[in-house]
Structure 1
Amino acid sequence: MAPRPRWYHQLQASKTEATLAVDLYNRSGTERQLEAFIVHMCMAWLKLLQSKVERDGGDLYIRNHRGQRQRSADGDWLHKPLATLLAEEFSDNDPRRVNLNFFVGLRNRIEHRYERDIAALIAGRTQAFLLNYEQTLVGMFGADQSLGENLRFPLFLSSITDDAAEALKALRKRVPKGVLEWVQDFDANLEPSINDDQRFDFRIYLVPYTGPKTEADAAMTFVRMDELTEDQRGKLDEVQTIIREKQVSVSSLGTLRPGEVVKRVQSQISWPFNMNHHTMAWRFYKVRPSSGADDKELTKSDFCRWNSTWRQYEYTEAWVAYLVRKLSDEQTYKEVMGVSDGGKDAPDATADLAASA
């Protein structure tokens, strides 16, 4: 039998890294599971992409302008880093790439005594991190290389009871402010379509199944939205509505009219902030579509939501806090309001800022 090519062994090393990442994440205790998961999953992705490039006859080396391979200070050949391989394989807005970039950035901001709280906060993105790897692995090398037979659904204790919403609120209060703000800033720069993509953040509704059990039943069954009929989607919408009404009272939704947002922000920053400024802010941060857009619900839901009953946009407390944090910085304020480049689109903002200086 002919020896296996080098890329095959690299592929097996990639799968070993992914399996180790899951084992470390699912172990009992609180000792740096999230950081270990991120490190080993990044290694798994690196080796996976290296395997594909090598199998396809591509170039793994960093080269100078003459096309010559470059060496490190130790004399070893320099290989393309993960960021470069990702850019060569996936587009900028591919949710898999965005998800991986999220974890690369988060790794340097983890505070270890709060690691379990941070892990719970981003559990959907963590699941997507693994699912993206598995789907890409199978897509590149075939179903016979899948990790499906090696990984099992874990047994767990988590906030899946009726008080889950309150538990999540309490958890957010424990996560360090710097980490929460970093996650919020990362999300604010995403297109709504990316933020809602399951490949970036894997979110599910758990509905206990109590009907007759058959031998073919599994503990969990995943249903793709694009495979549902219109009637089935309507039923799912009903379930989502029931869950929201049960867990979150109307008074706690915290939605605000634009005028209320303006008042709150103006009272907390040193620069003028009126309705015109607010319009420029939501346009700058792309939190909602333009007024004439067909799909009015395509918003950044952490900040803004379309109220189909009243036919208007409503904003959240998180949007107020975000604006206060961002616009308290004079340079950021000028950038958002278009002041630094002459303020062609916002003469009001330019005049107001000059008057307040």
Structure 2
Amino acid sequence: MHAYFRSKKIDYRHFSMIGGRKKYDTTKRGAYKWWELERCLNCERSPVETDAANNLRFLVGLRHEIEHQMTSKIDDLLSARFQACCLNYNTLIKKLFSEKLGIDKHLSFSLQLSSLSDSQVDMLSDQPGLPKNIQKFIEGFDGALSREEFNSPKYAYRVLFVAKTANNFGQADRVIQFVKPGSELAEKVNTEYTLLKEIEKVKYLPSEIIDKMKTEGFKFTMHDHTLLWKKHGAKEDGKNFGTTVSKTWYWYESWVNLVRQHCEKHREDQRDIPW
């Protein structure tokens, strides 16, 4: 980022305005204080597109949360974000400076030195040992993104790997083969190997649930929704119907399904719903 700003003659030093003049911030030994990554991303002339910037802001925020409280479970849970960051870095280096400066020709793929057992897959999904502050940060950051931003490969690069054997003895076989998303084979793989996919729960605001029910032809108001979740105690611990993100409650798909079942059950008389 600094190299790019320098090429565009953008001043990336911290300063304060005193008497109409810039006073640059310096260290105790007189060195300039340069913009950190977050400040670079916030610059209007930043060359980093939105989804890649979201990825970096997530990793910077995660770093602030972790500090010296590193947990061994974090790499497995967030590997998709780390992979996206590497790809974004390589893409931007080549875009801003030169194709020959890309690092992909030196190291295309890292090697996975162990396979995952079913018990390990279950452990990765639950992440029981993840510190609460990190878990809350992840939920808060993801919850603030739109669905398109969250699913962007530049925010989190998710790939499903399946062991493959050669068809014939002595047949050369590439260690990694990519299947086109949306193809018949890709859909089959996603269906048969859902345990190996990174599972991220979709979150809904109450207003989104109301709109969804109206779109499906039900008469369902915010008042109806409030009465329904209070009746079921849906926000109680252990119900797993939703979660709090940055002081705002979000509902999971499981709650949307319950709301839909309720509306279908009382479709004939939506004006007088028996709570």
Say whether the fold is shared (TM-score over 0.5).
Answer: yes
Alignment match, 2:187 = 237
Paired with 1:326 and 1:54, the residues of 2 have a C-alpha distance of: 37
Count of residue pairs the alignment pairs up: 217
Paired with 1:92 and 1:149, the residues of 2 have a C-alpha distance of: 22
Paired with 1:292 and 1:138, the residues of 2 have a C-alpha distance of: 48
Paired with 1:145 and 1:96, the residues of 2 have a C-alpha distance of: 19
Q: What stretches of structure 1 of length at least 5 have no aligned partner?
A: 1-48, 226-231, 256-278, 295-316, 334-357
Alignment match, 1:320 = 241
Alignment match, 1:72 = 26
Paired with 1:164 and 1:194, the residues of 2 have a C-alpha distance of: 29
2:87 corresponds, among 131, 138, 147, to: 131
Shift of 1:124: 0.9
Cα distance 1:91–1:141, how it changes in 2: closer, same or farther (>3 A)? closer
Query: Does residue 175 of the first structure (1) align with residue 158 of the second (2)?
Result: no
Paired with 1:93 and 1:291, the residues of 2 have a C-alpha distance of: 35
Structure 1 residue identity aligned to 2:8: D
Runs of 4+ in 1 over 3 A off after TM superposition: 62-67, 89-93, 111-114, 157-165, 211-215, 221-225, 286-294
Q: Describe how 1:278-289 pairs up with structure 2 within 5 A.
A: 281-283=205-207
Paired with 1:205 and 1:167, the residues of 2 have a C-alpha distance of: 17
Paired with 1:98 and 1:120, the residues of 2 have a C-alpha distance of: 20
Query: Does residue 86 of the first structure (1) align with residue 10 of the second (2)?
Result: no
Cα distance 1:149–1:235, how it changes in 2: closer, same or farther (>3 A)? closer
Q: What per-residue deviation string (whole Å, max 9, x for no partner) do you get for residues 197-245 of structure 1?
A: 1111111111223235766x532234564xxxxxx6233112111112x
Shift of 1:100: 0.8
Structure 1 residue identity aligned to 2:24: Q
Shift of 1:97: 0.8
Q: What per-residue deviation string (whole Å, max 9, x for no partner) do you get for residues 59-81 of structure 1?
A: 22334444635132533333333
SS of structure 2 residue aligned to 1:322: strand
Shift of 1:187: 0.9
Q: Identify the structure with the greater helix proportion.
A: 1
Q: Describe how 1:76-155 pairs up with structure 2 within 5 A.
A: 76-88=31-43, 89-90=45-46, 94-110=50-66, 115-151=71-107, 153-155=109-111
Structure 1 residue identity aligned to 2:39: T
SS of structure 2 residue aligned to 1:106: helix
Shift of 1:127: 1.1
Alignment match, 1:308 = none
Alignment match, 2:8 = 56
Cα distance 1:141–1:291, how it changes in 2: closer, same or farther (>3 A)? farther
1:211 corresponds, among 166, 180, 185, to: 166
